[in-house]
Amino acid sequence: MQIRLRTVAPRAGEAVALPWAQGTPAPEAMAAAIAAAHFTGEAGTSLALFSPDAVILAGTGAAAAPLDFERAGGAAIAALGDASALVLDARGLQPAEAAAFAAGAMLRGAPPLAIRSVPAGKPAPRVELLTGDRPGTIPHWRAAEASARGTLFARDLVSEPANYLTPAIFATRLRSLEEHGITVKVIGPKRLRRRGFGALSAVGREAASGPRLVTLRWKGRLDARPIAFIGKGLCFDTGGISIKPAAGMEEMRADMAGAAACAGAMLALALRRSPAPAVAILAIAENSTGGDSYRPGDVLTTLSGRTVEVLDTDAEGRLVLADALHHARHHRPQAMIDLATLTGSIVTALGHHQAGLFSNDPPLAAALVAAGAAVGEPLWPMPIGVRHREDLNSDIADIKQCAPSGSGASGGRLMPDACHAAAFLREFVGGVAWAHLDIAGVEARAEADALGPKGASGFGVRLLDRLVAMRFEEER
Amino acid sequence: MADIAFTKPALPRHGALVLLLPEEGSGGTLHEAAIAATDGRLPKALEAAGFKGKKGQTATLWAPGGGLSKIVAIGLGKPGDITAENLESLGGTAWPLIAAERESVIAGEALTPEFAARIGSGLKLRSYRFDKYRTKEKEEDKPKAERIAIATADPAKAKAAFAPLAAIAEGIFLARDLVSEPPNVLFPAEMADRCKVLEKLGVVVEIMGPKEMKKLGFGALLGVAQGSVQEARMVVMKWMGAPKPAGRGKKEAKKPLCFVGKGVTFDTGGISIKPAGGMEEMKFDMAGAGTVIGLMAALAGRKAKADVIGLVGLVENMPSGNAQRPGDVVTSYSGQTIEVINTDAEGRLVLADVLWYAQEKYDPAFMVDLATLTGAIIVALGHEHAGMFANDEALAEKLEAAGKATGELVWRMPLGDAYDKQIKSDIADMKNVGGRPGGSITAAQFIQRFVNGKPWAHLDIAGTAWAYKDVPLIPKGASAYGVRLLDRLVADHYED
């Protein structure tokens, strides 16, 4: 989906989206309709009028934060119905607001990936951003569009079924980022094994398409150590020998959403030519069940040299991240942020409305919370307690991968697995400032909202892009 | 329970000597005396045992000489480790090491009167036992400690500092007793009766039965209770300890503080019955109420200068021919209607009526409720932190600080409209569950609908009410989590 900038006023018959701030006087021609429909202009709501002209009023709320303009743009395109074109009339907005308005339309309007023999539904509408200040708008739009494009890239990857997106194909898809100036390096199954990626190799070895470690580098301009994104990229997760129940297992094609978000964020940085150097380390594998699967009870030697006792082969995400986090340290990052659809526990804890944030660095955590709030991808801080780490003490290895089920309180049914996973990951970050985003529960939308259609959300792309813009782009 | 006394440092001639030793520097006069009494063998023996004085490290020397049965060394750690909180904890560490000795002396260079008092508090808290149902326990398995003397330069000052801590400990013991009692012994009426012990401390205790509550319109609470042959109770406990303004026309008395507890004396889940495994733990589904009762005892026992009202809703949740069903709609005291989707989400129904009553009747400065409310909070946080939900930033911050100071930790959890939507009902004002995702949060959203906008915090203590293993201040079993936390909250901010 492309959005073009234009300065020519709408012609008769063109559908126009008009932002309207809550509490401001209604445009005279529409006042009666607005009153009749009880439309308030709340951010993320819209009202479609077809007479005298085709106008979609898009509420920008009262406070009108940048996010409100995005939601207004999203609500506008959601109300477009069967019309095939829309003019976003941003002539009354500041350039940054106009860009946000258009970005929202792109995030909500881009059709989700579908694989059909006969195209169903309609193609993406032709959308134009009408502005009175084209030169002033261009830089803002370039940044906003980059972030949206990165999000759409991530969404498409997440939507792809596991027979389409195997680890090998995922790596190939990521190669396409080279055209944007990103360096792509892939380590295949054999070299992973030889180089001691014991955890990633074990998780991925049974699948027909073996594991990959993909490194994406964006050089930036600043003479600074990079920020590192680390992503869990499980193209499919059967659970392995600790196999998952059948119901809902199809959702496990999205178990690579963390890696997809990291890749999308890299694309966003490249598209907007961010000055900040960044690196993404993506641990890609398929967790299959078969004669060569790793087993509960196995002890793995990770890349760091630390040994890990496996208790549950379905807690594989933390294993591949352990190797990826350790590997990321070779890049001497200023900070490491990992994203992973890691635990069901975080869904029980926080539901589908925000992701869990664990960190060893309060300033980094605060910056992430602020970035998430700014882009509508909220994070909630969660603890790593002393007990969480103690629960992972192993009799046979340096650490257990998760706390055993079947003992402890309530027969072991209730475990703070998200906290345990975070305590486990922390062991592999050394002294680096680190944050872990458990994005299970937010990687997809159950229903469309103002910022996206139903399906893969691309959660994390805009958040990471914003974090870099807020915190890592200043000359030191 | 052993008598805890404070004395000037003097080497005992029998029994146990506990030495609190730092990683570096002097262990104090009794350390020197003990070295002399052991003919200089003590330092070598500690070295042989690998004892370096690290915080919480222990070493025991049997029959070391000087008539002593043993010397126990406990590490104080580095100078920065020597805090009141840590010393209280070390007092707890000391107890199992000296419980079998009739007499013990505890000494250390660091023991200011305040620190000595905290050691005493830790000893007392750890010494708790619930053994009334053991009829055949062997003598040698019982603790024999009769007197523990803590050596400090100013015993009178230490004794004065210990008095309020001992009162708090008594409140904790009351709460632990209530939580430990089996559910056939402790049913709502019995639990309400036991609140009357607070009258001796100057607490006014009011008990309401089903008739009064029905008249008021407690439809939510009584719906939970209706399946059991045991009648429901609500108990209101008032401690009006704030200094009354002198003379007429002075400023009005401050608003009281309200603490509200969930008291489900046993929770089968009702018609939405729980699985059998682990159901016996549901005897402690009244721990929120137990904590509130214990807190009232603590505050009254130490004569807290604050007006505090504790309210507990006591019910038993049983399946029966007369039990509430999934699908029932009940009308709460607030007038709001509730569709009961799951009869095992009963705690919030009890709290709904008691909280509405509390805010309406007492117009409190704030309300804090405690409840073993959701399994989801254990999946979220585990057993180290209680989940805290609040509609008031200042109150939340005070609770966080009190948690850090007492080791009864809280972790803030979110509230928000998106979660509130999960409890929309098609037939009533709300339903009592919002699904697995964010299960503790939707429970808190439900409760928030019954606080009428008043400053409020909700503590989900399902993971912290019971200690599954010994920790320094809690022997395995009922923890009475929340008594020290809330006592500290009151002491630090509401008594002046």
Answer for the pair B377, B412: CB distance below 8 angstroms, yes or no. no
State the pLDDT confidence band at B249, using cuts at 50, 70 and 90: low
Rounded to a whole number, what is the distance in Å from the CA of A201 to chain B's nearest CA? 29
Please give the Cα distance from B203 to B196 (Å, whole number). Answer: 9
> Which residue's structure tokens are 């060893």?
A360
Tokens encoding B48: 């042989």
Please give the Cα distance from A167 to A146 (Å, whole number). Answer: 26
Which alpha helices (H) appear in A383-433, and where do they start and end?
386-390, 417-426
Q: Between chains, do A352 and B438 touch, taking CB under 8 Å as contact?
A: yes
Residue in A352, A413, A389 with CA at minimum distance from that of residue B379 = A413
- The SS3 call for residue A365 is helix
Task: Quote the pLDDT of residue B289.
Answer: 98
- Chain segment B331-379, per-residue pLDDT in tens: 999 999 999 999 999 999 999 999 999 999 999 999 999 999 999 999 9
State the pLDDT confidence band at B401, using cuts at 50, 70 and 90: very high
CATH class of B166-493: alpha beta
Residue B184 sits at the vertex; the CA angle it makes with B179 and B189, to the nearest 5 degrees, is 75
N-term to C-term CA, chain B: 33
Tokens encoding B115: 């620190």
Interchain contact A32–B (C-beta under 8 A): no
Answer for the pair A202, A241: CB distance below 8 angstroms, yes or no. no
Rounded to a whole number, what is the distance in Å from the CA of B280 to chain A's nearest CA? 10
H/E stretch holding A98 reads: helix A95-109
Mean pLDDT, residues B315-325 taken together: 97
State the pLDDT confidence band at A408, using cuts at 50, 70 and 90: very low
State the pLDDT confidence band at A413, using cuts at 50, 70 and 90: low
Please give the Cα distance from A125 to A120 (Å, whole number). Answer: 14
> Does the annotation place B177 within a ligand binding site?
no
Residue type, B233: R
- Chain segment B275-307, per-residue pLDDT in tens: 998 999 999 999 999 999 999 999 999 999 999
Task: Quote the pLDDT of residue A407.
Answer: 43
Q: Known catalytic residue: B348?
A: yes
Contacts of residue A420 in chain B, CB cutoff 8 Å?
382
Mean pLDDT, residues B418-447 taken together: 97
The single residue of B348, B431, B449, B488 carrying the catalytic annotation is B348
Mean pLDDT, residues A139-152 taken together: 98
- The SS3 call for residue A364 is helix
Specify the CATH architecture of the domain B3-152.
Answer: 3-Layer(aba) Sandwich (3.40)
Burial B122-135 (b: 16+ CB within 10 A, else e): bbbbbbbbeeeeee
Handedness of CA A102, A376, A60, A15 (dihedral sign): positive
Residue in A49, A105, A57 with CA at minimum distance from that of residue A77 = A105
Mutation for testing the A interface, residue in B374, B378, B388, B440 having most A CBs under 10 Å: B378
Within 13 Å, how many C-alpha atoms sit on residue B171's CB side?
Answer: 31
Answer for the pair B440, B413: CB distance below 8 angstroms, yes or no. yes
The single residue of B129, B147, B274, B303 carrying the catalytic annotation is B274
* Mean pLDDT rounded to a whole number for chain B: 96
Q: Which of B379, B442, B468 sits opposite A345 (nearest CB)?
A: B379
Task: Quote the pLDDT of residue B247.
Answer: 64
Contacts of residue A419 in chain B, CB cutoff 8 Å?
380-382
Q: Known catalytic residue: A149?
A: no
Q: If you measure CA to CA, which chain A residue comes closest to B414?
A: A380
Interchain contact A415–B (C-beta under 8 A): yes
Q: Which domains does chain A have, with CATH numbers?
A: 3-132 (3.40.220.10), 147-471 (3.40.630.10)
State the pLDDT confidence band at A410, using cuts at 50, 70 and 90: very low
State the pLDDT confidence band at A238, using cuts at 50, 70 and 90: very high
> Which residue's structure tokens are 């159901």?
B279
Residues listed for chain A = 476
- Chain segment B145-196, per-residue pLDDT in tens: 999 999 999 999 999 999 999 999 999 999 999 999 999 999 999 999 999 9
Interchain contact B464–A (C-beta under 8 A): no
Task: Quote the pLDDT of residue B245.
Answer: 74
State the pLDDT confidence band at A411, using cuts at 50, 70 and 90: very low
Q: Has residue A406 got a pLDDT over 60?
A: no
- Chain segment B186-240, per-residue pLDDT in tens: 999 999 999 999 999 999 999 999 999 999 999 999 999 999 999 999 999 999 9
- Chain segment A75-120, per-residue pLDDT in tens: 999 998 888 899 999 999 999 999 999 999 999 999 999 999 988 7
Please give the Cα distance from A204 to A286 (Å, whole number). Answer: 5
Contacts of residue A353 in chain B, CB cutoff 8 Å?
416, 418-419, 438
Domain locations along chain B: 3-152, 166-493
Residue in A248, A224, A476, A182 with CA at minimum distance from that of residue A333 = A224
Q: If you measure CA to CA, which chain B residue comes closest to A412?
A: B278
Contacts of residue B414 in chain A, CB cutoff 8 Å?
350, 354, 380
Please give the Cα distance from B213 to B333 (Å, whole number). Answer: 9
Interchain contact B442–A (C-beta under 8 A): yes
Q: Between chains, do A409 and B381 touch, taking CB under 8 Å as contact?
A: no
Please give the Cα distance from A127 to A212 (Å, whole number). Answer: 38
The single residue of A91, A175, A244, A306 carrying the catalytic annotation is A244
Q: Between chains, do A409 and B463 touch, taking CB under 8 Å as contact?
A: yes
Q: Which of B277, B383, B437 sits opposite A411 (nearest CB)?
A: B277
Answer for the pair B21, B27: CB distance below 8 angstroms, yes or no. yes
Q: Which of B381, B414, B437 sits opposite A383 (nearest CB)?
A: B381
Burial B436-451 (b: 16+ CB within 10 A, else e): ebbbbbbbbbbbbbbb
Contacts of residue B383 in chain A, CB cutoff 8 Å?
387, 409, 416
Please give the Cα distance from A130 to A8 (Å, whole number). Answer: 7
**Complete DSSP assignment for A194-211:** HTT-HHHHHHHTTSSS--
- B193-198: long-range contacts at Cβ-Cβ below 8 A with a sequence spacing of 24 or more? B194/B293, B195/B235, B195/B237, B195/B293, B195/B312, B197/B297, B198/B237, B198/B293, B198/B296, B198/B297, B198/B300
Q: Between chains, do A352 and B277 touch, taking CB under 8 Å as contact?
A: no
Please give the Cα distance from B344 to B285 (Å, whole number). Answer: 12
Rounded to a whole number, what is the distance in Å from the CA of A70 to chain B's nearest CA? 19
Please give the Cα distance from B192 to B186 (Å, whole number). Answer: 9
Handedness of CA A264, A266, A267, A273 (dihedral sign): positive
> Which residue's structure tokens are 């910056």?
A367
Task: Quote the pLDDT of residue B251.
Answer: 58
Answer for the pair A245, A254: CB distance below 8 angstroms, yes or no. no
Please give the Cα distance from A18 to B230 (Å, whole number). Answer: 64
Please give the Cα distance from B463 to A258 (Å, whole number). Answer: 30
Please give the Cα distance from B397 to B100 (Å, whole number). Answer: 42
Contacts of residue A414 in chain B, CB cutoff 8 Å?
375, 378-379, 463
Interchain contact B280–A (C-beta under 8 A): no
The answer to whether the complex's ipTM is over 0.95 is no
Interchain contact A417–B (C-beta under 8 A): yes
Mean pLDDT, residues A15-42 taken together: 90
Interchain contact B375–A (C-beta under 8 A): yes
Distances (CA, A) of A128 to A20, A101, A153, B217: 18, 11, 21, 60
Mutation for testing the A interface, residue in B379, B441, B445 having most A CBs under 10 Å: B379
Contacts of residue B468 in chain A, CB cutoff 8 Å?
408-409
Distances (CA, A) of A80 to A41, A54, A70, A107: 17, 10, 16, 14
